[in-house]
Amino acid sequence: MRIPKRLMSVFLAGVIAAASVSAFTVSGYAAGQTDIEARHGEGSEAFAETDEGFGEVNSILAAPSGKAGDSLGAEADGIVAAPVVGNVRNIEKTSFEPDYITLKWDKVSGASGYAVYYLDVDSSSSYKKYTDVTSNTVTVKNLSHTTQYYFKIAAYINQGGKRYEGNATVKKTATQPGRVTGLDSVRSSDVLEFEWNRNPKATGYKIYRACAKTDAEYVLYATIRNNKTTSFSDRNVEEGRAYYYRVYAFRELYGGSYTSTRNEIYFISGLCAPNYTMTSQVSRVSLSWNHNRYAHGYDIYYSTSRNSGWSKLGSTTRNFFNTVRLTDGKTYYFRVQPYKINGGSRTKVEGTYATKYKTVTEGAYGSYVGGTYIEVSLKQQHIWLYKNRKLITEEDVVTGNDDGYHNTPKGLYSVYQRSSPATLSGPGYTVSVNYWMGFYGGYGIHDSTWRPYSDYGGSTYKGDGSHGCVNTPYSCVRTIYNNTGYGTKVVIY
């Protein structure tokens, strides 16, 4: 019997449709497909895989209706059925950092490329298209640290001017937590305390410690499982000993833990902030403090704001520091931070610091000084000569004995006597000097060649000071004498 052509076409279409439905059903079952759209927290996990030892998973999601593989209704009259696009399988994370993740997967036979989507699970419920790639790997950049992401990857085939996208496979993973920031010391005494900035997405923080008791090896010392706790105190310390700490942020996901890179902070127990005093005269600030017995030196910082804009002024091994000329009438903030160069590794360990402020005074004792003057600090036992606001020389000195009778007087004076050489005499003494500059009564500045150089500076003036004059090393006083004259201002404080 001859079957009409139209009836034959309908019959063949039905056969093709039935075969396509059968193939689609078998393929979908084998791949663990579901008939739901990719939404937050949904998706079959039939192909769950472990990554880095914990349950990061791949999930295959069904393609929406009308996508690749939908050959229902195809006619036999020269119409080619849509291609069947294979599923992406075995997505692996090959590298990750706080701001990017690299993924790789098995190639899909016949695929023209792959569509990559991503979902920030912590802040969104909708996928966004990232890019199309033609290779079986992608690096997704500009991500947020410590963040849970779902990546949806689908193969596609370009055919007949159309694009056919297959079922998507979802990779559940996360970026590496960001490095702990703002790590700073708070106390360095018989208690060591430090603090850092909060990571709101972290599960918590891990503290590792290295010290002599651990043979300088870092060992896990504390785990903080509350990300709102952003400080740590260690009372199990010995004064004078070194303690090094590493702080990590971590986030627990998929039965495992994502951990940041480390940040480190070092302590010498007892290397604490010095209690310093400040004075201001002739547009400078002078800072003085008592030595910390564990310190090798001190770094001095300043700023015009208490909380930002700090710059290093300089370093010193002495227990005083004088700034350069600053802006008259302006208030500056200062920090004096002790440090020690520790061990064979020569690690610089910084102590804690205190912040104080001082307003800069142009003159001295309420009077104008000018740009050429001699400056003497009794507490620092030091002398400076400035000429036209430029430092010419400076040196340690010995001032009057600190006994209440022979102390060098504080104040603003002028040179009114000059002699080279000169003979000085007083009750019980007569000495010859090479240079003499009198500034008030019988007080003056002169060389003292009978003193060993080691006498100058320090605490010599507390017990073996002068009768009130400023004893100065020969080469320094000669320079001062040759660069000053009658009327040169002398500032003593």
| pTM assigned to the model | 0.72
Cβ-based neighbours of 436, under 8 Å, separated by 6 or more? 417, 418, 419, 420, 421, 422, 424, 444, 445, 446
Q: Which of 10-14, 66-70, 255-259, 417-421 has the lowest mean pLDDT?
A: 10-14
pLDDT of 294-317, one tens digit each?
999 999 999 999 999 999 999 999
Domains and their CATH numbers in the chain: 5-174 (2.60.40.10), 184-268 (2.60.40.10), 276-359 (2.60.40.10), 373-492 (2.40.440.10)
CA nearest neighbour of 483 among 372, 360, 369, 328: 372
Give the rounded percent of residues in the chain with a pLDDT score beyond 70.
Answer: 84
Rounded Cα distance, 164 and 170, in Å: 18
Using the predicted structure, report yes or no on whether residue 22 has a pLDDT greater than 50. no
What pLDDT shows up at residue 427?
Answer: 87
> Quick one: pLDDT band at residue 78, thresholds 50, 70, 90?
low
115/430 Cα distance (integer angstroms): 99
Please name the residue that has the structure tokens 């603003």: 412
Sign of dihedral through CA atoms 138, 141, 147, 150? negative
pLDDT, the chain, mean: 87
Cβ atoms of 169 and 61 within 8 Å: the answer is yes
Q: What residues contact residue 2 under an 8 Å CB cut-off, 6+ apart?
A: none
Cβ–Cβ < 8 Å for 381, 493 = no
Asked if 249 and 178 count as a contact pair (C-beta separation under 8 A), the reply is yes
Confidence of residue 77 (pLDDT cuts 50, 70, 90): low
Span 249-266, average pLDDT:
95
Per-residue pLDDT band at 57 (split at 50, 70, 90): low
CB burial string 342-355: b at 16+ within 10 A, e below: beeeeeebbbbbee
Residue listed under structure tokens 């019959």: 11
pLDDT of residue 37: 28
Residue of 11, 13, 49 lying closest to 32 (CA atoms): 49
What per-residue confidence (pLDDT) applies to 12? 41
Number of Cβ within a 10 Å radius of residue 15:
10
- Asked if 330 and 359 count as a contact pair (C-beta separation under 8 A), the reply is yes
What's residue 299's pLDDT? 98
Q: What is the DSSP letter of 159?
A: E
Residues 444, 448, 451, CA angle at the centre, nearest 5°? Answer: 140
Residue 140 has pLDDT above 50, yes or no: yes
Q: Across-strand partners of 256? A: 253
For residues 85 and 69, give the distance between their C-alpha atoms in angstroms, rounded to a whole number.
Answer: 7
Q: What letter represents residue 202's amino acid?
A: A
Nearest Cα residue to 296 out of 348, 334, 244: 348
- pLDDT at position 63, please? 53
Is residue 435 predicted with pLDDT exceeding 80? yes
Centroid of chain to Cα 267: 16
Say whether pLDDT at 254 is over 70: yes
Cα diameter, the chain: 152
User: pLDDT tens for residues 150-187?
Assistant: 999 999 999 999 999 999 999 999 999 999 999 999 99
For residue 482, the Cα-to-chain-centroid distance in whole angstroms is 50
Output the CA–CA distances (angstroms, integers) from residue 468 to 89, 382, 407, 440, in the order listed.
Answer: 91, 15, 5, 11
What is the C-alpha to C-alpha distance for residues 246 and 88, in angstroms, rounded to an integer? Answer: 41
Query: Which residue pairs, CB below 8 angstroms and at least 24 apart, start in 308-311?
Result: 310/335
- Residue with the bigger pLDDT between 233 and 70: it is 233
Question: Position 342: which residue type?
Answer: N
Which of 18-22, 150-154, 279-283 is the most confident on average?
Answer: 150-154
User: Can you give the pLDDT at residue 382?
Assistant: 96
* pLDDT mean over 414-439: 95
What's the average model confidence in pLDDT over 142-152? 97
Q: What is the band of 61 on the pLDDT scale with cuts at 50, 70, 90? A: low
pLDDT at position 135: 97
Bridge pairing between strands 297-303 and 331-342: antiparallel
pLDDT at position 8 is 44
d(CA 196, CA 186): 10
Cα Rg of the chain (Å, integer): 40
The DSSP annotation for 432-483 comes to EES-EEEEETTEEEEE-TTS-GGGSSTTTHHHH-BSSSEEE-HHHHHHHHHT
Name the nearest CA neighbour of 413 among 383, 362, 369, 361. Answer: 369
What is the pLDDT at residue 34?
27
